[in-house]
Each structure stands twice: as structure tokens, then as C-alpha cells.
A and B are shown apart, each in its own frame.
Chain A
Amino acid sequence: MTVARLSLVGISKSFGGIEAVRDVAFDVAPGTIHALVGENGAGKSTLVKIITGLQPADAGEIRLDGVPVRFRTPMEARAAGIVAVYQDPKLFPHLDVAENIFMGIHPLSRLGVVDRRQMYQRARDLLRALDVELDPYALVAGLSLGEVQFVEFARAMAEGAERLLILDEPTAALTPDETDRLFRVVRRLRDRGTAVIFISHRLEELSGLVDFVTVLRDGRHIATAPAATLDRAGVVRLMVGRSLDQLYPESPGGARRALGAELLRVEGLGQEGVFDDISFNLRAGEIVGLAGLVGAGRSEIAQTIFGVTPPTAGRVIVDGRAVAVRDPRQMLGLGIAYLPEDRDGEGLITTLSIVKNLVLPIVGRLAWRGILRPGREQAETRRFADRLQIKAASLEQAVSALSGGNRQKVVLGKWLAMGPRVLILDEPTHGIDVGTKAQVHQIIERLAADGIAILMISSDLPEVLRMSDRILVIADGQLTGEFGRDEATQEVVMTAATQRRRNRPAA
């Protein structure tokens, strides 16, 4: 038996008390393609960052060809022959293709100056080896995402990824034709002895390409097996295999909530190039989960309904009346509120106090002829702070001093102060601890009991299953499944979420 190209032994890493990966161990043999799969937040990205030196592991050992290594920067990892290509390419838009390939590792002439002729020649050779027809002189600003991906790939080749190449969802933006081309190159690299770690959400494309599959779940290593021994259903089972009761206590249940009138309906909603043909409705008192993988287009759908980017197709019907969606202000007027995922960036002004944040959208209503009335602002805030159990030393405390969970409650309160009837929550419990999570869940359920219709985007599958009366699954910008509370299981939702687009046009 040959020495493994890459050996991970007991790798653990946590962020602020939350374990991202724990005790992960597996081997990648040279000359093999190794798939790394798992749900959102299973720890794949963290693992890649640890291997490439972007983040240090808390514990464990990485061995490269049997030798223990510890990279402190991606540069060190590259020098050792480990290169990663990320799914959202980071390139220099003002510079041309060749420069993007060779930035920092420009070929030099004997005088120590950049040898531009050689640079363009080598760029051309690399691109040809990748079987892409790209002009090395083309500015990256003008390339499609697929083309950009190949530039990243060429960069990895130029750096000499001869030992280990890590591809983080490389096909997310590629056409089938481009994907085939990429796979050909990956196979060629494998045949030359390079080890490849391939991360993908499209399980069906793994068969026929990868030699081994490693499954991560909740930061733990679940299984590593030859690809031939696993079918897609088996992989899905390994990805989600856990009982819900372990994670969340039994829900009081949506069944006990009485559903009221239909408050929101969307028909054939589309945003050119992002998602299309989305239809569903929301009733008063209902919690509808919007499940799917990161990047499937869920937030985009929510933001379209909220008017951040008006739709290019379809209809939005509020209270039985068709609405031409223009902007968030209009939608707020119609009683639709949206809680963004990035609550610090889009939802809160962190340097201001809880009071100031909470009353921000209704400050005009509380004022007397344009003059603010701090007393009423205080009272109003107190009302919501109690209802939402916001824990703070004082309501005048700056939001920046609050914990993640309490911040999220302030955002919630801010929108609740406006008295919305439809509330769209984008990852409401992302990055908050388990205890606060349960509280947020309770609050959401109470809001639904009060008759608010709730659309909840969440990448936490057990959370979606536990909270929702109904689950919509989005994959690749399309609605690929709709399940009632009783029929929804982790397996069926995950299967729908990893579906390839039905009518992906050929290139």
C-alpha cells in the first residue's frame, strides 16, 4: 500500500464555542479523485481552509506524503504543491487573463523584470491544456463566470498543483459543456498522479468521476468509501442521517395553529438568470420553510418579493390583489417585511442603541410634528424587548455590545414594530447559540400564532423540518419540491435540494 498523499488525523476546529469540524480523519491517495460531500455547514469549507492554511486547526495533524505539515498561509501550502480553486473566483477585473494567471509568480527574464512575452505564451499553453479558448489578453472584467473559473483553474496549474488540487464546487457556474471539459482535465491530472479533492452539491455528477466519497455531517467525519459502493440515495442517507429529536425537542406543532386567509401568493415569479417559475402561497398563521443549498437562489427570491430587485417575470399577489413590485418601501406599506441574513450589514446600525434601532422604521409615527419623543420610543421599545426577551443591560446600550442572538431579536423587533402581516426571515438562527436558537424558534411560533404569515429561509434542515407547516425546496433557481409537514423527511428534502435543473439549456 502506498503512502497517502494527504492524511487528516483528528482535525478539530471551533469558532467561538461552536464546533465547525470535530475529529475528522481520512486519507486521500495519490492519483485519485476524492469527493467531499455534506450539507450546508457540515464543515467542508472549514476543512478546506485548514488544509490550505487559511485557518489553523485547533487540534489534529495533516500529513502530506507521510510528512506532518502545518501551513500558516496559503502561500506555504502552494509551495508544497497544494492549490485550491474556490467557487466564487477572486480575480483582478482590471487586469487581463494572463496577468491573473501569473500575478505574484510572473515569469522573469534574466534582468529580473517581468517577461511578458513568456507570460502570454505560457498562459496560452495553459489555457490550451485546459481545452478552453480564451484570449490571454482579454480583460477579466469581461469574462463570464464560467470563463473566470477556468482562469482560476489555469492559475492553479501555473502554481504547480502537482500534489493536491482542491476544487470547491467548481461546476456551480458552468454549463454542461464546460463541466465536461473541466472533468476531462481533472481526470488527466489524476492520471498524472495528482490527488484531487472535489466538493460538489450535485451528487449525480459525482458518479463516473470520483473514486472515493467522504461524507461529513455536523462537522464530523461519517464515512469514506469507494464511490462504486455508494449510490446517490446512500450518500444522501449518510449526509442527513440523524434523528430530529436529538437536535430539537418535539415541536408544539403547526397543526395546532389555525390557518387563516391567504396573505401572499406568487405566480411564475422569475428573475432573469437567477431563478424562474416560482409559485407558492402563504396563509395567515402559517410557517413555510424555504429549504435548499446555499446559492440555490432562496435569498434572491425573498428579496425579489420584498422589492429589493423587482421581478422580471410573474406576479405577486398581496391580499388577493396583484401588485407591481417596485421597492421595499412599497412592500413594507403592504405589510410585508424581510429580515436579511446579514443582520449587521443590512439589518442593524450597530453603533446606535437598541431603542434607536428598534424604532428606526416607525420613528415618524412616534414623533410629534417631526419632533422625536424619546419617552414614547422608550415605551415602544420596552414593549418589544419584553415580548422578544432581549437581554441587555439597558435599552440605551449600543447594539454592537449585544450577542448574536440578541441582535437578531432587535432586528425582529424592528420589523415587528411596523406591524407586518407577512414576515420573511432569511436564516434567522444562523450563527447564534443553541439556547437563543430555541428562543427565536418560540418567538417565531408565537408570531405565527398571532396570525402573521412566515416565510423562513433556513439552511439548517432539522430546523426547517421542525418549524415549518410546509416546506418549499429550491435547487438551482427552481422550485424542485413542496412537502407538507407529514411527508417531509431529511431524505426527501435533501434529494430535492440536490437536483439538477430540469431544463438546463445545452451550451
Chain B
Amino acid sequence: MIRRRASAVDLPGAERAGRAMARTTFLLENRVLGVLAFLVLLAIFFSLVAANFAAVANANTIALNGSILVVVACAEAIVVITRNYDLSVGSVVALASYVGLDLVRLHPGAGPILVLAPIAIGGLCGVVNGLLVAYGRIPSVIATLGTLSIFRGLAYLYANGQQINGKDLPDWVAGTASSHVFGLSTLVLTAVAVVALVGLGLRYLRVGRQIYAIGSNPAAAAFYGLKAPRVVFQAYVMCGLLTGLAAFLFGARAGYIVPYLAQGLELTALAAVVIGGVSVLGGSGNVAGAAIGAVTLATIDNGLVLLGASDFTRQFIQGAAIVIAVVVDSVIQRRVRDLLKLMRRRGRVG
């Protein structure tokens, strides 16, 4: 928790500032706990009002529905931590899953190695986004809004009015979505593995730490001599690869693949990331939070379905959740800023 001791260089008369500091530090470090608490409250609420919510089978449903979103949210989180966005993830899923699974359909003999096809396509999309944002210096919202249309358009062009049916695909594709390892769904295990690997990578690789540093203060990153464009580029490529993986799972689970697959997924993923405590202003949060955010959204969705809420209601609630999460985020960020200002003044008084 708060490991900060009162330091010896603290000045007299600064207790108020000290307390504010401790509170802010706590907020920054424990936002994930807040989301988790919210998720628990949500589960209790739905258990009380929706008859079948608390059943084991339903928990499975939530896990299955949520796991693909968890992967996409992890991908999005990497980019958001660098103080950028990727609005194209929904389109990347459509393109990668259509083209990737079409390759699988055309080469049935190649076997499960072709799971790499959608991943590679996703990675290529990440390369395009990364080049535009990191080296082309185009604001990420604009660049990825553009590629959102481009990738989706490519998917339509490639599909040429067709769709891929699950029965045309080798059995291993559908098998992946429904198989179990040690009694756990492969889908869920994949999501858990992604969260663990990305989480560890961000924490224990130099590039992972630099992803945080660049999001936290780009100007300082330049002074430190960090190669910001390269790191941002790598973040986009990672995001693309993971989205490609999600695309495979999406297609495998859907049973039939159409170019309008996963429309609006970018907003859901962004919502998961923000609800999970990753700051939209970069530099803070982690993928575990993003994953919990994704599960939270899946839970809300599931609960509302059980309650018989309409699609529109669900959209409304999801939108509201994003707005509330961003408000909470900006309040926290403002507190950090105010505090920094207070510190600066305190420093100057001497």
C-alpha cells in the first residue's frame, strides 16, 4: 500500500499537504481495488435482482463472453498508457479474423499453425497505426479513426459480399473456442495468460517501463534520452498482435465471419480500460485493471440480458459507465496536478 514514510526533508507546517499527498498516492496506487469493489457490489446487486445470475453456468457465460474483451482491453491498455489511443481495434478484429480465417479455410492442411495468420494481420495493422502515430506524428485519435475506416473497408473489399461459415473451416478452429484444459475453457485460459504475460512484460521489461514513462511525462522522456517514437511504435505493434489473437478467438467463437464483425468494439475496449483505472492521460494503470474493467462490462451486459433489458438500454449503460469512469479519472488527475502545484509552492517558500 502506501510505503512512503514521512521523509526527513519534509518541512514544518506541511502536514496538510502531507495528508493530501498520502491520499493522492493511495488513489493512484489503489484504483484497481476500487474497480474490484465495484465489480463485487455489481455481482451482489445482480444476484439479488436477477434470478439466474448467481448460477455457476452463468459465471461461465460471463467468463466466456468477457475473455475476448479482456484480450482486446489488454491490447488497448498498452497504447493508452503511452498517452495514445487505438480506435481501430474493432476494425482490426474484423479484418484479421476475416482474412486470417479465410486463409485457414483455403489451406485446411496447414493445421493450427495458421492461428498465426490473424495474429500477423493484426500485427501489420499495428505497424500501420504505429508508423502513423509514432513516426508520422499524427495525433493518435485522428490516425486510428482513419485506420478504423481503412481496415474495415479492406475487410469489406476482401470479403466482396461473402461470408465465411464455420462449417467450411477445419474442426480445430471451432474446437479451440469450445475446448477445455484442466476443466477450464481455453478461451478463459488464453485471456488469463495474456493478462499475465502483458502485465509481467510491462513490469519487468525495460520497454514496459518506458511505456509508462512516456505516458507519464513525454518531455521528461526526451530529457532522459528515451526513444519515444520507437516505444510508441512497439506499443502499437503489441496492441495489433494481441488484437489479432482476439480476432481469431472472435471468429472461432462466432461460427460465421462477416466483415461487420466487432463493430464498436473499440469503444467497449476503451471503456474497459478506463473503468479498469488506466488513466486516459497516460502513465498510470495496469492491464490487470483493464481486465477487471472488461469483466465488469461483461457482467453488466450479462446482468442486463438476464433482466431482459433491451440492446439500447445496454448501450446507454455502457456509455454512462465510460463517462463516469473518465470523470473519476479526471478528478484524480486534477488532484495530482493541484498537489504538484502545492508541492512546488511549498518548495519555493523553502
A interface with B by C-beta (< 8 Å): 73-75, 78, 86, 90-95, 99, 103-104, 106, 108, 113-114, 116, 132-135, 137-139, 141-148, 150, 173-178, 272-274, 477, 501, 504-505, 507
Contact = CB atoms under 8 A, between A and B. Distances in A.
Contacts of A132: 7-9
Contacts of B343: 142-145
Given A114-B209, A501-B350, A95 B25 contact: no
B16 interface: no
A134 B9 CA distance: 8
Given A272-B345, A273-B345, A139 B29 contact: yes
B225 A73 contact: yes
Given A139-B28, A173-B347, A477-B348, A93 B206 contact: no
Contact of B216 (A93, A273, A504, A505): A93
A142 B21 contact: yes
B51 interface: no
Contacts of B219: 90
B28 A94 contact: yes
A273 B346 contact: yes
The DSSP consensus for interface residues of chain A is loop
Contacts of B340: 93, 141
Given A133-B9, A134-B9, A141 B339 contact: yes
Interface residues of B, number: 49
B88 to A, nearest CB: 26
A104 B28 contact: no
Interface string B205-228: 110111011011101110111100
B25 A146 contact: no
Given A90-B223, A147-B9, A139 B4 contact: yes
18 contacts: A74-B225, A90-B223, A94-B283, A103-B224, A104-B226, A106-B209, A114-B204, A133-B5, A135-B3, A135-B5, A135-B7, A137-B3, A139-B25, A141-B25, A144-B343, A145-B344, A146-B9, A175-B11
A137 B7 CA distance: 12
A273 B9 contact: no
The winner among B5, B9, B340 for most chain A CB atoms within 10 A is: B9
B227 to A, nearest CB: 9
Nearest to A78: B225
Contact of B220 (A91, A135, A138, A501): A91
B249 to A, nearest CB: 28
B322 interface: no
Contacts of A504: 350
A507 B350 CA distance: 7
A108 B209 CA distance: 12
Nearest to B219: A90
Given A74-B223, A141-B340, A94 B3 contact: no
Interface in B175-231: 203-206, 208-210, 212-213, 215-217, 219-221, 223-226
Contacts of A143: 343
A196 to B, nearest CB: 20
Nearest to A295: B348
The winner among B203, B204, B221, B226 for most chain A CB atoms within 10 A is: B204
Interface string B93-113: 000000000000000000000
A86 B222 CA distance: 13
A146 B284 CA distance: 24
Contacts of A116: 203-204
**6 nearest interchain CB pairs?**
A145-B347, A273-B345, A90-B220, A75-B225, A92-B216, A94-B283
Contacts of A150: 9
Contacts, number: 147
Contacts of B203: 114, 116
A177 B4 CA distance: 21
A74 B220 CA distance: 13
A137 B4 contact: yes
B168 interface: no
B21 A173 contact: no
B209 A94 contact: no
Contact of A95 (B24, B216, B336, B345): B216
Given A90-B220, A145-B344, A272-B345, 7 more contacts: A94-B28, A103-B226, A141-B340, A142-B22, A144-B10, A146-B9, A175-B9
Nearest to A88: B344
Contacts of B25: 138-139, 141-142
Interface string B224-261: 11100000000000000000000000000000000000
Contact of B206 (A104, A137, A145, A507): A104
Given A144-B346, A273-B346, A92 B7 contact: no
A501 B349 CA distance: 10
Contact of B9 (A73, A104, A507): A507
B121 to A, nearest CB: 29
B298 to A, nearest CB: 28
Nearest to A273: B345
Contacts of B226: 103-104
A55 B280 CA distance: 33
Given A103-B226, A173-B347, A141 B213 contact: no
Contacts of B345: 272-274
Contacts of B283: 92-95
B342 to A, nearest CB: 8
A93 B223 contact: no
Interface in B1-32: 3-5, 7-12, 14, 21-22, 24-25, 28-29
B4 A135 contact: yes
A99 B210 CA distance: 10
Contacts of B347: 144-146, 148, 173
B349 A273 contact: yes
B104 to A, nearest CB: 34
A113 B204 contact: yes
A504 B5 CA distance: 26
B7 A505 contact: no
A108 B208 CA distance: 13
A173 B348 contact: yes
Interface in B28-43: 28-29
Contacts of B210: 103-104
A177 B223 CA distance: 28
